[in-house]
Structure 1
Amino acid sequence: MICVTIGRGRHSSLIEEWQAAAKAGADLAELRVDCLRRDPDLKRILAERPTPIVFTARRGPDGGLWRGNEEKRLQLLREAIALGVEYVDLEHDVAGKIRRFGKTKRIVSYHNLKNTPADIQDVVEECEKLDPDIIKIATNAPTLADASRVLRLGETGKFPTIPIAMGESGVFTRIFGAKFGSPFTYAGFNPERVFAVGMPQFGELKNDYNYRRIDDRTEIYGVIGDPIGHSLSPAIHNAAFRELGLNKVLVPFQVPQGGLESFLTDTTWLGLKGFSVTIPHKEAIIPLLQQKENAVERTGACNTVVVDAEGRRCGFNTDYRAAMDSLEVGMGSVEGSDGPSPLVDKQVLVLGAGGVARSIARGLSRRGAHVTICNRHDERSTALAEEVGCRMVTWSQRATVIADVIVNCTPVGMHPNVDDTPLPPSAFQRTGIIVFDTVYHPEHTMLLKLARERQAVAISGVDMFLRQAALQFKLYTGQDAPLDVMRATLKRKLGPLRED
């Protein structure tokens, strides 16, 4: 089940939003009466119940807005129980003061906004002594290791447990709880009201993660990077899984630079079947692979890892093929043609020196293009240029390069920094230049807008993203990707940011 959290300042607004959530398909609603600016009128609030509820009056130290005294709050909780609410949230330090009554189920909760204590298992054991029906553990998890410890509580607890690791590192705990017996998870409903960092919206859980389909047999896949919140890989892969009736889910893992080995260690128990690799890990993952395809060896970058039946990590590079196909088709080549590449003898400026840039630069070189590398850090440009066997220019010189093709492999212009561009207008010294931006979110980046204004041919990163995702899907499942479904999902997700 998905429980939407609703907290408004006015009774009428609370009830109205609750009704809207029910109409949208919410299974359960957590009513945060601590958000009300006036004393809660429970009889008014509970007169008509469009969904079952979790009744919550959260204190300030636990992340709430309760303004009254503690005895008044406890009396309010008792009144809600007497009125027969389906669930009541009782903090572990007060649960012993409120006895069980009627059919109301007791959620004994522990909140820690500072950290995830080393003795979190002891906290769970204390909660188990307080006559719970459900135990909820919500702690701040600054690291993936902390988040993993929290999620694992759902696997080991004596009572149904809702494990929540707050923060960007813990998003996956809100999704995987169902796999480990969590009776429900919490979601936001109104995007303008954020109750906890990392809490997904109801629509995301329902549509992007197929939450209601997750069970103990669901296979887990991931996408790793930092930042990772912008990634649309979960939405398109999960739509494809759903279309083909596959019991799989792909979720984001925020893995900071230098954190790959910890990620692999901390998530071993989850049994990941594979994961997509994005910035900044496409090169760093290679030494941690047990097997790798030739494209990884050739490009020095890996964007896809599949874990085989023996637990070996096998690396692939679907960026390489997808980028070359997108660029050549965008330049007028017929897909699948055996003819010469339109890139032969073209002067190509590649912006960036990371994993994507390495893959594309090598692909361009193999197709007979004359490549120039440019990156903010000259030493990285020099290293990649020597590796590929091409020239480099400094970042300050990038606008002076006369190129037939420009390829942006940097994250400049990526959501949310949509007004940024890696090139100034002066870089477009003549018409007819081909400009390929590997950024796909938003679809129409500032770089591509500048290109169109100056009569250049603009190639969006959306096509490359879909192509590489389809290749990943085949590696994950052994089946051809439902490309139309993936494309429609991507267009829907990009919709609010698309500008022509």
Structure 2
Amino acid sequence: MSGACYLDSVSIITVPIAVCDPADLGKAIDAANHAAGTGGDLIEWRLDLVVDAGPSLLTTVVRDTDVGSLLTLRSVEEGGGFGGTDEDLAEWIGQIADLDTPPIWVDVEYARWSRSEAVRSAAASLGQAKLLLSFHDFTGRPADLLRIARDMQEAECDAVKLVWRARSVRDAVECRDLLADRSKPMIALCMGPHGVMSRIMAGAWGGLMTFAAADDSSATAPGQPTLEQLQSWYRFRCLDANTSIYGLIGDPLGASPGYELHNRDFETAKFNGVYLPLPTAAGWESLKATLSTLIDHPSVHFRGASITLPHKSDLVRFVRERGGDVSAIAAACGAANTLIVDENGICADNTDAVGILEPLLERGARVDGGRAAILGAGGVARAAAAILLQRGSSIEVFNRSAERAKQLAEDLG
């Protein structure tokens, strides 16, 4: 990766590689070593479906991987493919303990470790291999998350891993708080689109590891970035506790060139910032809760966002209710697409208007006292109407919903 970094992250980039058939082991090792050669620090060998292959497979993956290994059997209950008993798991752990060359880490699910004496006894015999106790919830944040985190850290292990499906960006911020309060090495990550921030900021927030897919087709959890995205787009190793966070807020977000473009500009300017996807469900309450969490948290360092559908009008309301500034053009059209957060407070602005006006002027369009037809009645349409009305044009609005078109006309006079 090119460009200067501000502080090397101590967090480990772990790349999961799944082996579904022993016959495919050679290809899997090639994929693992390619990932190791392009920035992966550790390979997580997902062996859920090949547990019966025995010690020879374990020996091969540890011996032939160019970097360290984390060996995992993820159960069906926690989103994987291993359907064996606790006794089967204990036997597998025992095989690892007998290896001449051990892996660096072994993942054992906390639920099985806590209920099975056989699993605990086998884990205690691992020797040089470190024990990572893990917890995964693919349905959402467990109500007793804090108790689970406390109990796991009190267990006899070298590190803990807590992962759950995020309901909102606020869950990702909770990962930061768990890491800040940890009593031993911890991985705290959220799955799904709302959890991406927790994965990108894992190192900056003090997490032991983050996980990155080898390519677009090999993610083992929803929301997992690729190794290339993590390093090239988001500059994972350059982020630190003082990194300023910016992002794109909307619902749905989908693919956007902004993540790559803005982060590339930050790198070029040697600016310690990162631009992230911050999906926020439709509705005033959702936007208010998400922005309040990001702005008010003393250690997240949220500094602004691009705002897209359906939140442009609600952003103006939010900034006004917080006592912030609303630019003249944002106030005129009742919608904003830019949020600025700094030591002076917060400000809502609308760059859509300039983005619409300038190309029209460049092409010689008559905007002063002219006539214009606007298709749509959303935030961009509001910006177009506001700037053209300011220039003395008359406008006609065409929209699928007559109500929204009438509302736009009433709001803008």
Select the residue among 134, 137, 156 that pairs with 2:162. 137
Alignment partner, residue 316 of structure 1: 349
Kindly indicate whether residue 74 of structure 2 is the aligned counterpart of residue 63 of structure 1.
Answer: no
Distance 1:101 1:18 in 2: 24
Q: Check the 8 A contact 2:153/2:159 in 1, yes or no.
A: no
Q: Check the 8 A contact 1:106/1:132 in 2, yes or no.
A: yes
Q: Match of 2:53, SS?
A: coil
1:13 Cα deviation after fit: 2.6
Q: Check the 8 A contact 1:145/1:263 in 2, yes or no.
A: yes
Identity %: 29
1:187 Cα deviation after fit: 1.3
Summarize the alignment of residues 94-493 of structure 1 with structure 2, pairs less than 5 Å apart.
94-95=112-113, 96-97=120-121, 98-99=123-124, 101-258=126-283, 259-267=286-294, 268-269=296-297, 270-289=300-319, 290-310=324-344, 312-329=345-362, 331=363, 333=364, 342-344=366-368, 346-389=370-413
Kindly indicate whether residue 24 of structure 2 is the aligned counterpart of residue 7 of structure 1.
Answer: no
Q: Match of 1:178, SS?
A: coil
1:176-226 deviation per Cα after TM superposition (whole angstroms, max 9, x unaligned): 222210122011113223321111111111111111111112121222111
Q: Check the 8 A contact 2:332/2:412 in 1, yes or no.
A: no
1:62 Cα deviation after fit: 0.8
1:346 Cα deviation after fit: 5.0
RMSD: 2.1
1:471-500 deviation per Cα after TM superposition (whole angstroms, max 9, x unaligned): xxxxxxxxxxxxxxxxxxxxxxxxxxxxxx
Structure 2 counterpart of 1:306, one-letter code:
I
Distance 1:125 1:89 in 2: 18
Distance 1:297 1:303 in 2: 12
Q: Check the 8 A contact 2:137/2:163 in 1, yes or no.
A: yes
Distance 1:109 1:67 in 2: 17
Structure 2 counterpart of 1:366, one-letter code:
Q
Q: Check the 8 A contact 2:243/2:301 in 1, yes or no.
A: no
Alignment partner, residue 457 of structure 1: none
Alignment partner, residue 86 of structure 1: 104
Q: Match of 1:126, SS?
A: helix
Distance 2:154 2:241 in 1: 27
Structure 2 counterpart of 1:28, one-letter code:
L
1:119 Cα deviation after fit: 1.9
1:443-476 deviation per Cα after TM superposition (whole angstroms, max 9, x unaligned): xxxxxxxxxxxxxxxxxxxxxxxxxxxxxxxxxx
Q: Match of 2:102, SS?
A: coil
Q: Check the 8 A contact 1:189/1:201 in 2, yes or no.
A: yes
Distance 1:316 1:306 in 2: 8
Distance 1:107 1:37, change over 3 A: closer
Structure 1 counterpart of 2:317, one-letter code:
P
1:345 Cα deviation after fit: 5.6
Alignment partner, residue 448 of structure 1: none
1:354 Cα deviation after fit: 1.3
1:239 Cα deviation after fit: 0.8
1:107-157 deviation per Cα after TM superposition (whole angstroms, max 9, x unaligned): 211112222122211111111122332211011222333343334211111
Distance 2:52 2:34 in 1: 22
Alignment partner, residue 64 of structure 2: 48
Distance 2:367 2:170 in 1: 46
Q: Check the 8 A contact 1:151/1:165 in 2, yes or no.
A: no
1:94 Cα deviation after fit: 3.7
Distance 1:239 1:35, change over 3 A: farther
Q: Match of 1:177, SS?
A: coil
Distance 1:37 1:121 in 2: 32
Q: Check the 8 A contact 1:350/1:371 in 2, yes or no.
A: yes
Distance 2:240 2:93 in 1: 32
Distance 2:216 2:124 in 1: 36
Distance 2:139 2:291 in 1: 25
1:58 Cα deviation after fit: 0.7
1:149-183 deviation per Cα after TM superposition (whole angstroms, max 9, x unaligned): 33421111112221111122211111122221012
Q: Check the 8 A contact 2:14/2:212 in 1, yes or no.
A: yes
Distance 2:62 2:388 in 1: 65
1:64 Cα deviation after fit: 0.8
Distance 1:100 1:212 in 2: 34
1:22 Cα deviation after fit: 1.8
1:279 Cα deviation after fit: 0.8
Q: Match of 2:173, SS?
A: helix
Distance 2:141 2:176 in 1: 11
Alignment partner, residue 454 of structure 1: none
Q: Check the 8 A contact 1:57/1:77 in 2, yes or no.
A: no
Distance 1:387 1:67 in 2: 60
Distance 1:100 1:94, change over 3 A: farther
Distance 1:388 1:265 in 2: 29
1:59-79 deviation per Cα after TM superposition (whole angstroms, max 9, x unaligned): 110111114443233322333
Gaps of 5+ in 1: 334-340, 390-500
Q: Match of 1:205, SS?
A: helix
Distance 1:215 1:241 in 2: 14
Structure 2 counterpart of 1:280, one-letter code:
P
1:42-92 deviation per Cα after TM superposition (whole angstroms, max 9, x unaligned): 122222221212111111101111144432333223333443101111211
Distance 1:249 1:100, change over 3 A: farther
Distance 1:178 1:19, change over 3 A: same
Alignment partner, residue 9 of structure 2: none
Gaps of 5+ in 2: 1-11, 114-119
Distance 1:202 1:133 in 2: 25
